[in-house]
Chains A and B, each alone.
Chain A
């Protein structure tokens, strides 16, 4: 086909556009010189300064805890929300419910952040670690709901019905049949929730308090003062961390999917 050369060019250019800035960022984190445009040789000195920067390390620890807690809570709530959307076709206020799931996906962060802060103030809750977690849980659960929902729609309900018919109580059926089958989507949702929480600057800035400075807030305040290789170093570590996580999950889900298909084949052969 004539168009294939055109397509290859387009893809090469677009992926170059997407990846070159990130690659430059990573390369310059190993630069011995402090200047962005001068290559002074390979060095790990910025990783050392980063490591001894206590403020940065504290922020990293806060971010990790916020990420794990809010992703876990968000995944639990998001999975429930996905079940509600797929399994409960009619209930009062379903329109509002699905609206509240989709709206946070596109809502400008400044609005979500500010409005949630005003709620905490109105309820007289001191801003800090837990308010950031609640804020992150609220927007990440919507992403989880979308991811799990798409898996639930292709779900074979006869498996659940079989368990129920055989007298398995609904809650047990959920944990024994439904959850294992949607697990890849739930894990992918958790990963997504975790990275979104790791990433967020705006909502965290509004809802944080003393002692709960997250990494993006810290990075942002340093970036405003100028580009330093130390920031490149911490960014490189974050990128590496997320890349490994994403690749591991995608391999894991692919393997789980293959296992599932193989099991189904075995089961089918067993019945005929």
Chain B
């Protein structure tokens, strides 16, 4: 009898048990969800030279109507009027799409090679992919500055091997090419790991069956391997594409003055121009752009779970 009542106790909602849910739930509501409402609100305010640099601050009950009448979409209008912002959004999307494609192009063969490696080697290979991810993002981007600088190691290497005239220097640093190198380098583990976990689970007998029936290897790849790895392709692409769109550190350190990315624009509006409402509007528009990819990512994660 005791065991029955105990099991029931575990299944019936016990107020104390709900603390397990309530504590992290409230934390995320307060520190993750609520800020999005605030950012939206601030994006409708005007800039003021004060601390905090926007008006109106928080309203009293009586002032609510005045307060609402002061909110408007001025900042959003400004975003459409100045071509700089539209260019920055489009350029971010372009850079994110191209980098995600490059990541797939490099990450897929790598993940496939890992999945086909002897099973005794695989944990070490996975460890080797994860390890650079643990070292600081900033440090890894910084490492490329020394390599790509005009008087850096790449120039030196090309000069000593005779591929480049000793008087010439390689002009990659502070261009979009450097940004692509930095992004591919930093995000490669994020692309490889989901691809690897999809490919590793694959049933090899399917490929054997294909080859027994006379299917050439490249055709077997497109007919069997690739379609089966599609969840990994989508997960990896989303995990890379979404943060790359809002990337700040890489375009700032490796890109040039003409490398437009919205993360950099937002940073400048906030820290440089101290225009918090405009920075908020930039963030809200970016968020709206990313809603669909984020929804795809969430959906994918739920299927994996």
| CB <8 Å contact, B28 and A18 | no
A80 touches B138 (CB 8 A): no
A7 touches B113 (CB 8 A): yes
**Are B23 and A7 touching (Cβ within 8 A)?**
no
Q: In whole angstroms, how far apart are the Cα atoms of A206 and B276 in the complex?
A: 12
Give A75-104 as 1s and 0s: 1 = Cβ < 8 Å from B's Cβ atoms.
001101101110110010100111111111
Residues of B within 8 A of A109 (CB): 243, 246, 248, 263
In the bound complex, do residue A103 and residue B298 qualify as a contact, i.e. CB atoms below 8 Å apart? Answer: yes
Q: Tell me the number of A-to-B contacts counted with CB atoms below 8 Å.
A: 249
Contact B113 A11 (CB under 8 A): yes
> In the complex the two chains form, is B298's CB within 8 Å of A227's CB?
no
Task: Say how far A171's CB is from chain B's closest CB, in angstroms.
Answer: 8
The verdict on A47 contacting chain B, using a C-beta distance below 8 Å, is no
Q: Tell me the nearest residue of chain B to A87, going by C-beta.
A: B20
Q: Which of A19, A83, A138, A195 contacts B27 (CB 8 A)?
A: A138
**Complex contacts, A246 vs chain B, CB 8 Å:** 130-131, 134
CB distance from A181 to the nearest CB of B (A): 17
Within 8 A of A (CB), among B125-153: 125, 127-132, 134-140, 142-147, 149, 151-153
Say whether A270 faces chain B, with CB atoms less than 8 Å apart: no
Complex Cα distance, B139 from A24, in Å, reads 12
Assess whether A36 is in contact with B153, with CB atoms less than 8 Å apart: yes
Contact with A along B13-32 (1 / 0, CB 8 A): 01011101101110111111
A266 at the interface (CB under 8 A from B): no
A115 touches B146 (CB 8 A): no
User: How many residues of chain A are within 8 Å of chain B by beta carbon?
Assistant: 89
* Residue from the set B20, B152, B302 with the largest chain A CB neighbour count within 10 Å: B20
Number of interface residues of B (CB under 8 A): 97
Task: Tell whether, in the assembled complex, residue B24 and residue A77 are in contact, meaning their CB atoms are under 8 Å apart.
Answer: yes
Most buried by B among A97, A102, A108, A206: A108
**B-facing residues in A142-175 (Cβ within 8 Å):** 145, 149, 153, 161, 164-165, 167, 170-171
A80-B24, A122-B38, A239-B139 in contact; A106/B239 too (CB < 8 A)? yes
Say yes or no: A11 contacts B125, CB within 8 Å. yes
- Whether A227 pairs with B149 at a CB distance below 8 angstroms is yes
Residues of B within 8 A of A259 (CB): none
B interface SS class: helix
What is the CA–CA distance of A88 and B25 in the complex, to the nearest angstrom? 13
Chain B positions 257 through 283: 1 when the CB is less than 8 Å from some CB of chain A, otherwise 0: 000000100110011000010011001
Task: Report if A235-B147 is in contact (Cβ < 8 Å); known contacts: A108-B245, A118-B35.
Answer: no
Find chain B residues with CB under 8 A from A6 CB: 113
B24→A14 contact, CB < 8 A: no
- Asked if A88 contacts B21 (CB within 8 A), the reply is yes
Closest to A73 in B: B27
Q: Is B109 an interface residue (CB 8 A)?
A: yes
B2 contacts chain A at the CB level, 8 A cutoff: yes
Specify which chain B residues have a CB less than 8 angstroms from the CB of A224 in the assembled complex: 253
Contact partners of A98 in chain B: CB under 8 A = 298, 302
A93: B residues at CB distance < 8 A: 25
- Minimum C-beta distance from A34 to chain B (A): 12
Most buried by A among B2, B116, B139, B185: B139
Within 8 A of B (CB), among A215-229: 216, 219-220, 223-224, 227
**A116 and B113 within 8 A (CB):** no
Residue B249 lies at the interface, judged by CB distance under 8 Å to chain A? yes
CA distance A240 to B197 in the complex (A): 28
A115 B36 Cβ-Cβ under 8 A: yes
What sequence of 0s and 1s flags, for each residue 127-145 of chain A, a beta carbon within 8 Å of any chain B beta carbon?
A: 0000000110110010001
Residue of A nearest to B279 (CB): A114
Does A43 reach chain B (CB closer than 8 Å)? no
A268: CB under 8 A from chain B?
no
B85 to chain A, nearest CB (A): 14
Contacts A18-B188, A201-B138, A223-B142 given; does A108 touch B243 at CB 8 Å: yes
A271 within 8 A of B: no
Residues of B within 8 A of A164 (CB): 6-7, 9-10
Indicate if the CB atoms of A21 and B114 lie closer than 8 Å.
no
Once the chains bind, are B153 and A24 in contact (CB under 8 Å)?
yes
Contact indicator A115/B142 (Cβ below 8 Å)? no
Question: Of the candidates A28, A102, A114, which one forms a contact with B301 in the assembled complex, judged by CB atoms under 8 Å apart?
Answer: A102
Asked whether B297 is an interface residue with its Cβ less than 8 Å from the other chain, the reply is yes
User: Are the C-beta atoms of B114 and A11 separated by less than 8 Å?
Assistant: yes
Q: Give the chain B neighbours of A243 by CB distance below 8 A.
A: 131, 134-135
Q: Does A22 contact B (CB under 8 A)?
A: yes
A110 touching B38, Cβ below 8 Å = no
- For residue A64, CB closer than 8 A to chain B, the reply is no
Contact at B151–A37, with CB atoms within 8 Å?
yes
Instruction: State the Cβ distance, A111 to closest chain B Cβ, in Å.
Output: 5
Closest 10 pairs (CB-CB, A-B): A108-B246, A115-B35, A7-B113, A81-B24, A21-B143, A106-B242, A100-B28, A84-B21, A115-B39, A119-B35
20 additional A-B residue pairs with CB within 8 Å, beyond A36-B146, A97-B28: A4-B116, A7-B116, A22-B135, A25-B142, A37-B153, A88-B21, A91-B21, A102-B297, A102-B298, A106-B239, A108-B286, A110-B283, A111-B287, A114-B270, A116-B31, A170-B14, A216-B136, A223-B145, A239-B139, A246-B131
